[in-house]
Structure 1
């Protein structure tokens, strides 16, 4: 029988500035209880006793009866500090004080007889925490792999104040390609394959899956980074999971304010970018920004023990110039204002029923005043116009912005039955306004002529693809979980649904694009022949997309944590997922049902004292097709090329005296009509999924040290991409005597690469659809080129050594040896920075997949990460963070001798010879050391903190991405025309910069 009561909150008896980090960031800690809560479990030697659990900040209390085997378990506990007491016949027998419940973790609090009750209390400010009793270093209830970072660790380590910077501390996590923004790759997967949760609700980018809605950094209570092995409650991810629980109010009113300044003048000068021939491509010496961030929070009881408030905000202003490349010489003076706030209400209706309400907002407005730039004098020139953006600058990147609202209910119905229910919604508007100072007729101009030192430039402000009007995203979803304990089984089942809606589209700036090229034949365009003696020609491109699309995702899961014996625990889970994708006309074009994902795990407490754990798990993980696929692939879009000879160039960069060379060529069949949904994807399309296997151990050394090792194997079993080749249909029709002379064959189809696929084809153009069951042989070209089997494999060995906070210091070292190899990165194509998840250039035709097997873009064979801090005395703290990694593979991408599909420089071939993936060596090793210090003067009672951080202390600026396309796509005199941009740097390491801060925490 479970009883509940409200003991008063015990006031803290003393304060200290010694913040004791929990250090629960062990590889393999804690099987997920819930993605926003944790567990306390253990044993009691006293038969018939009761375990009393009390939250030290909110007064929430639970009484749990010890079962006949001496075990107890309290699940779905809000993260925080607890006092755990064993009681019998109204007497207290033993107490563990200041027990920290970590996010998703299980904390073993066992009582073995002798009473050692502790009456010590603790008072917490946002940057100061006292923890009385040490915790077990190893959670023997876990089967997954994760890193858990507390707010104390996030404050004490030298980290950029964002979620991704913290995630990069986890083993096997690397930065994604810089062209995708501030995002990370987990375990070799592409950067769009992750999931992000705040207080249990998914806040991933609704359009592409790249990045997430963010929050005030100081509002993070705990951040967990799953790198593998997560349970059945998690899905829609084949990379990793980042789950954040925010801080909440307690029975003491607290507040704080802070300011963090990153001065422009203390920034190291960025490296300018040169082509391999020594020509300056982009001057970046003046590309240095300054930023100021103001932060604040307030926290406390609206009604003591009942109703609590926590509210926080970040307000950041960033200013600085950006000099663009000499091919589009501009000086952009940018002012960006980012506002993030979070408000959370926690209502303990009773100790049996808890309600949480969260509202957060993440919005960025950017104003750019754009001027011309003279590369001869390196000086700004005439004013061109303005570029105003609202949550639009990072559509492709880490923070799409938006407003999020989340409601959660937790009901402790009995000792054995717990119910969790959650509902969430989000909305984001994306706006971009371009205003020109002069002629608004400013198309995108690109001068790709080789050897040109004074390229043709236009009057455009962006010179690229810009956002179409009316862009917005919104999501809504709910989940219901029920947990029941039955003897040695902890059973849990749940329902989970989320709908993602996006209105989006892109268009070339000015409506179209002109690309100037050296004269030569164009492979795949036999009628494009420049006039005799012509040195150059020009290509006109038009590209426009726009639609309102939707993805509906549902899932059901069940799991059992089975305590087989005192030392063995088994985890059995099964997740069933359903995905439905709708196009701009509201029609379903892909529907996937019964995507079964089993999850199995086993952990062995070798000595029975939580000092040595061996664990293993295996699981399957699915991923839905992102919304962006329907914008272009399943809705109306236009994409064509038209070639001309020309006699002159106008002031705005447009060619004059045009003479057409051949006919307009529609790429991928995108001629402005909405495709029939039956012609978008293969029938019975299998979901994108991956299998994973992990074996590891964790071992303590004394009271302060722990070490461990983990082996991981991941294999992508099924992928989804598009292919754009009519030849397989022609081959099938010839073999089966089907007349397709009037057939309507789509430009591109979604399919499962490397497998047989069935497509519906309108064989007479009048709606007479016939199934074409294409075998792998049907995809083989007349020249004998076949699609390879899909391949993406990742394996790794992770080793770590950790020192828990003791003797005034904490530290951890991780080394990861890993390989990510195959012929497909996954949803993205970092080789060329392509931002089209699930519809990349890969797999468009068999020829383009030749010589593609090798180390993939997210492969970093060696990684070393070390971080920690030293509390020299109550006033001074010092921290360090070191990251070392081997370089990314390099490629040479060029022209195929035949180029039967007309893709130009898109093949793993150079000089008309094979150039297999990864055969060009690797980029240099990168290493970075960050340092910080914090001073909390005694005269301010340690409430005032002065901080200083220096990032990239030694100023290493190695290349992290380069242009891997070596040829222009044209052929002259029987040889491919080389590209001047081959091996030009795309991104370097962030130059050294300093951040200074001041913070004041107080209680009322």
Structure 2
């Protein structure tokens, strides 16, 4: 796709047809790195001819002599605008303008035919093709969407990377409890990879989120939704690939202010207890949210230019983002309220050095700091006002689920054009992210977490004196990532060969501990007098309330080493057929908190195959197909949660009263023994016993078949079918019964003090072999368990989709694209995450802990948004006025019911697909459709030479606020009916308006 600026000359259809007809004949074979692109093509009368390529901004020059067949390729070109000139015997024959996009080949051919049109340009008795580029890229086999800075500015979209990625087909929002994350093609939101200038910036701890940069600094954003080549790995969802802007030979600068006032934001919907009949809280307010609005302000500036003309360039940009509430306005949580500024500072600096025309060096620095200074108050629902100050919380780059984990990143990249056929690329990057989570209470005492599940009105609920509840990140938490790549590509006849290495090391110190030392949960005792899993529990006669104390702690240093080698070939089989053949070999090593390897996977082979057919030989109809295998490593978080020391204890008490300050029980008296969930008693498991032997990697197979068809000069239509099947995952099982049965069968006595891990990493849905010292005598038994022995069902996650689109290329006035996707994501495992309960424990979800948890688990998965319609575009009404629109309509997420199955031997509470009987996954219907329309208008006054921009964006124009996810937990942990089952957890974002004033100038 080529997007032209307003006022550019549109070339005639006759010229475009010839260009399209030449595209595959010109040799559409190419390869490129994930931060650059390619210009390729063909010229007649190649004798003595040279293609002269010049970057119009930086002066970077490449001369490519034409071989006898007239085909040429210029690989690893920095994205940008180029002038491509055909020269013969030192004389210019013809010049063309070309735009190089990220990861894309641009066909610039010089093909001569007999002049038959009165409007033809005559040169030595032939007609020279115009500069219009094909709308269909017949040289690619992947599925991608490329958004340029110009498009991102014209389309009404929120200023963040994931919001832009949602424009791509098959991409939907993830669960709100993970932050603003996204899901690709039925995969969980933790299975994507993000790159900036070729360096992976994905959160190494969980796979959720990424370091970001000023949105205005993005030059191009590529969204790969399937079929991507062997250079990409560590993703079974999708890839988001960003390149930053860079300096050129003209000094440029600019500034902008974006303002989204609180007064023009619609009130968020309040959340009420669901009407379940019979509950004291039935239909009453759960969370007051009408005032939960902020004024958002962004100040941005940039400058760029030449330090040495044609040689050395600089680009720098910075954003300061503030979310502030008006004086006296407080955002309300459930039983608390908060205020205080949310701050984010983003910057990027890039230096480009054209050492020579054959040697390029790029250096990039990125800063992403997120700060949250919050004061937290108790809240009175009777008066709808905050009351006493509970304390404050200071967070920096916080939250393993945060979509912008932050930090400082440095990237260096070298490109060398060794010969006309040989190019090398080398990259090294390093990032450091520090996480701070400081809490101080106003009470001056230790404030434990409090949960009140008693059946009493909200006004009588007990709350913690702590400013926040839940688990806090361990002091000193940080992530360090090192990544280096080396690629070499060589053109050999009709083959473009490329090979490379891609190695990454991620080190983290992290972990969580319960705020205030403990979590106290109040409840009414069950009528039976016992709680499943605590047979010794004896509730004293007359006791109307009990309390459960839960203590959790897990932290340590962990490391993941990921190495990969790849080789690929783009092979122009014939004039009309192009084949892609690739192979990626990956190795993963996970280290525990003691620096010992507990999972090692070698030779994970991932073949990638693709083919395109230019049906008529003129690039007006392309049919393509591809198949590939994609792997994931185990995230670092697994070592903290599963391979390090972890304490998770529970115990029940009665009490004589409640402390008026902390709301903790007074004189708690134990009525049960201590129960260690999954054996987590505070000791680290033996790394030899932690995982199954010869553990298979997490991987998925994918198949795509599609076509693209050009209609007239401006329209393109297409369709594709996608099928994905998750073949293997790694998760944990916490069931010791199969091991005990094996020991009994083989006459092995299990010692009472045997160090059997509470949970074991394994491959669900197949047989596994474990090594465990059952006698505590230093001798490890080889325990080979079949799938039948383990008792789990087959792993199942499948994704089937049909995508249809129509696109209108920009013709100086209008650009538009509309897509419809029918998809079905179904199975018994979401993958790395469990969005049913918002569990953030990649590869150690509760799904596979015990076979009973998997009963009824097969059905539509959380990402199953069956119908998706998206349309976006813009209209350049005049040189001064531009209007844009962005529409999406998506069907709702499936609803589940998770309850207690009797007997609940392992104390998992309301975690089963069982609610007064079987309740299979997705059997409780669907959430409603969500419709979102955004509109914008931009005015560029002619008397400012179009340098001044005044723009307004309105998001969710009709203020439709629909449920995005709900509480699917049917019962409390003690088995009583949950008063919050079916309660909305989030709604779509209310209507808002954003005003932007921007001024750009050059010297």
SS at match of 2:109: coil
The answer for the alignment partner of 2:760 in structure 1 is 749
The answer for the alignment partner of 2:815 in structure 1 is 810
User: Is the CA contact 1:30–1:105 (under 8 Å) kept in the aligned structure 2?
Assistant: no
Q: Give, in whole Å, the separation in 1 of the partners of 2:931 and 2:246.
A: 37
The answer for the alignment partner of 2:77 in structure 1 is 77
Q: Give, in whole Å, the separation in 2 of the partners of 1:755 and 1:16.
A: 57
* TM-score between both structures, scaled by the size of structure 1: 0.94
The answer for the alignment partner of 1:948 in structure 2 is 952
Displacement of 1:889 in angstroms is: 0.3
SS at match of 2:789: coil
Structure 2 counterpart of 1:460, from 457, 462, 466: 466
The answer for the alignment partner of 1:996 in structure 2 is 995
The answer for the alignment partner of 1:124 in structure 2 is none
Q: Give, in whole Å, the separation in 1 of the partners of 2:790 and 2:418.
A: 58
User: Is the CA contact 2:29–2:571 (under 8 Å) kept in the aligned structure 1?
Assistant: no
Q: Give, in whole Å, the separation in 2 of the partners of 1:85 and 1:566.
A: 24
The answer for the alignment partner of 2:899 in structure 1 is 894
User: Is the CA contact 2:701–2:725 (under 8 Å) kept in the aligned structure 1?
Assistant: yes
Displacement of 1:44 in angstroms is: 1.2
The answer for the alignment partner of 1:557 in structure 2 is 566
The answer for the alignment partner of 2:779 in structure 1 is 768
Q: Give, in whole Å, the separation in 2 of the partners of 1:642 and 1:317.
A: 44
The answer for the alignment partner of 2:23 in structure 1 is none
User: Is the CA contact 2:6–2:812 (under 8 Å) kept in the aligned structure 1?
Assistant: no
User: Is the CA contact 1:96–1:118 (under 8 Å) kept in the aligned structure 2?
Assistant: no
User: Is the CA contact 1:642–1:663 (under 8 Å) kept in the aligned structure 2?
Assistant: yes
The answer for the alignment partner of 2:684 in structure 1 is 674
Displacement of 1:523 in angstroms is: 1.2
Give a deviation string over 1:536-584, Cα, whole Å, max 9, x none. 2100000011101000000000000000011100000000000000011
Structure 1 counterpart of 2:341, from 308, 331, 335: 335
Q: Give, in whole Å, the separation in 2 of the partners of 1:551 and 1:149.
A: 33
Q: Give, in whole Å, the separation in 2 of the partners of 1:859 and 1:830.
A: 12
**Counterpart check, 1:534 vs 2:534:** no
Aligned residues: 956
Displacement of 1:779 in angstroms is: 1.2
Change (3 A) 1:200 1:117: farther
Change (3 A) 1:408 1:900: same
Structure 1 counterpart of 2:300, from 286, 290, 295: 295
**Counterpart check, 1:429 vs 2:440:** no
The answer for the alignment partner of 1:930 in structure 2 is 934
Q: Give, in whole Å, the separation in 2 of the partners of 1:791 and 1:418.
A: 43
Give a deviation string over 1:694-721, Cα, whole Å, max 9, x none. 0011111111110100100000000011
Change (3 A) 1:20 1:359: farther
Using the TM superposition, name which of 394-403 and 591-600 deviates more.
394-403
**Counterpart check, 1:916 vs 2:926:** no
User: Is the CA contact 2:31–2:75 (under 8 Å) kept in the aligned structure 1?
Assistant: no
**Counterpart check, 1:979 vs 2:978:** yes
SS at match of 2:688: helix
SS at match of 2:974: strand
**Counterpart check, 1:589 vs 2:603:** no
The answer for the alignment partner of 2:964 in structure 1 is 960
Change (3 A) 1:536 1:20: farther
Displacement of 1:32 in angstroms is: 6.2
The answer for the alignment partner of 1:26 in structure 2 is none
User: Is the CA contact 1:31–1:231 (under 8 Å) kept in the aligned structure 2?
Assistant: no
Q: Give, in whole Å, the separation in 1 of the partners of 2:306 and 2:643.
A: 51
Change (3 A) 1:163 1:310: same
Change (3 A) 1:55 1:226: same
Change (3 A) 1:543 1:760: same
User: Is the CA contact 1:385–1:437 (under 8 Å) kept in the aligned structure 2?
Assistant: yes
Structure 2 counterpart of 1:272, from 265, 270, 273: 270
Q: Give, in whole Å, the separation in 1 of the partners of 2:176 and 2:668.
A: 38
SS at match of 2:464: coil
The answer for the alignment partner of 2:587 in structure 1 is 578
Give a deviation string over 1:344-382, Cα, whole Å, max 9, x none. 000000100000000010001111112221111001112
Change (3 A) 1:86 1:285: same
SS at match of 2:672: strand
User: Is the CA contact 1:480–1:495 (under 8 Å) kept in the aligned structure 2?
Assistant: yes
Residues 395-474 of structure 1: matches in 2 within 5 Å? Answer: 395-453=400-458, 454-474=460-480
**Counterpart check, 1:496 vs 2:502:** yes
The answer for the alignment partner of 2:50 in structure 1 is 50
Q: Give, in whole Å, the separation in 2 of the partners of 1:323 and 1:426.
A: 34
Displacement of 1:16 in angstroms is: 7.8
User: Is the CA contact 1:281–1:325 (under 8 Å) kept in the aligned structure 2?
Assistant: no
SS at match of 1:978: coil
The answer for the alignment partner of 1:569 in structure 2 is 578
The answer for the alignment partner of 1:221 in structure 2 is 219
**Counterpart check, 1:104 vs 2:103:** yes
Q: Give, in whole Å, the separation in 2 of the partners of 1:994 and 1:225.
A: 27
The answer for the alignment partner of 1:690 in structure 2 is 700
Change (3 A) 1:988 1:693: same
* TM-score between both structures, scaled by the size of structure 2: 0.94
Structure 2 counterpart of 1:159, from 157, 170, 177: 157
Change (3 A) 1:523 1:118: farther
Q: Give, in whole Å, the separation in 2 of the partners of 1:853 and 1:250.
A: 55
SS at match of 1:806: coil
User: Is the CA contact 2:186–2:864 (under 8 Å) kept in the aligned structure 1?
Assistant: yes
Displacement of 1:20 in angstroms is: 10
Give a deviation string over 1:89-131, Cα, whole Å, max 9, x none. 222222212x101100011111112698999xxxxxxxxxxxx
Structure 2 counterpart of 1:723, from 712, 733, 745: 733
User: Is the CA contact 1:31–1:144 (under 8 Å) kept in the aligned structure 2?
Assistant: no
User: Is the CA contact 2:805–2:819 (under 8 Å) kept in the aligned structure 1?
Assistant: yes
Q: Give, in whole Å, the separation in 2 of the partners of 1:88 and 1:385.
A: 76
The answer for the alignment partner of 1:89 in structure 2 is 89
The answer for the alignment partner of 2:350 in structure 1 is 344
**Counterpart check, 1:616 vs 2:628:** no
Displacement of 1:258 in angstroms is: 0.4
Structure 2 counterpart of 1:486, from 480, 488, 492: 492
The answer for the alignment partner of 1:784 in structure 2 is none
Displacement of 1:291 in angstroms is: 1.2
Q: Give, in whole Å, the separation in 1 of the partners of 2:653 and 2:937.
A: 62
User: Is the CA contact 1:254–1:300 (under 8 Å) kept in the aligned structure 2?
Assistant: yes
Give a deviation string over 1:397-442, Cα, whole Å, max 9, x none. 2100000000000000011000000000000111111122223310
Displacement of 1:73 in angstroms is: 1.0
**Counterpart check, 1:239 vs 2:237:** yes
User: Is the CA contact 1:451–1:980 (under 8 Å) kept in the aligned structure 2?
Assistant: no
Q: Give, in whole Å, the separation in 1 of the partners of 2:58 and 2:648.
A: 59
SS at match of 2:979: coil
Change (3 A) 1:94 1:844: same
User: Is the CA contact 1:330–1:371 (under 8 Å) kept in the aligned structure 2?
Assistant: yes
Q: Structure 2: which 5+ residue stretches go unaligned?
A: 12-27, 124-129, 275-281
User: Is the CA contact 1:558–1:573 (under 8 Å) kept in the aligned structure 2?
Assistant: yes
Q: Give, in whole Å, the separation in 1 of the partners of 2:169 and 2:853.
A: 33
SS at match of 1:297: strand
Q: Give, in whole Å, the separation in 2 of the partners of 1:955 and 1:871.
A: 26
The answer for the alignment partner of 2:524 in structure 1 is 518
The answer for the alignment partner of 1:122 in structure 2 is none
Give a deviation string over 1:852-889, Cα, whole Å, max 9, x none. 00000001000000000000101110000001000000
Q: Give, in whole Å, the separation in 2 of the partners of 1:452 and 1:944.
A: 57
Displacement of 1:688 in angstroms is: 0.2
Residues 190-201 of structure 1: matches in 2 within 5 Å? Answer: 190-201=188-199
User: Is the CA contact 2:519–2:551 (under 8 Å) kept in the aligned structure 1?
Assistant: yes
Structure 1 counterpart of 2:141, from 140, 143, 146: 143
Give a deviation string over 1:312-332, Cα, whole Å, max 9, x none. 111111113654444xx2220
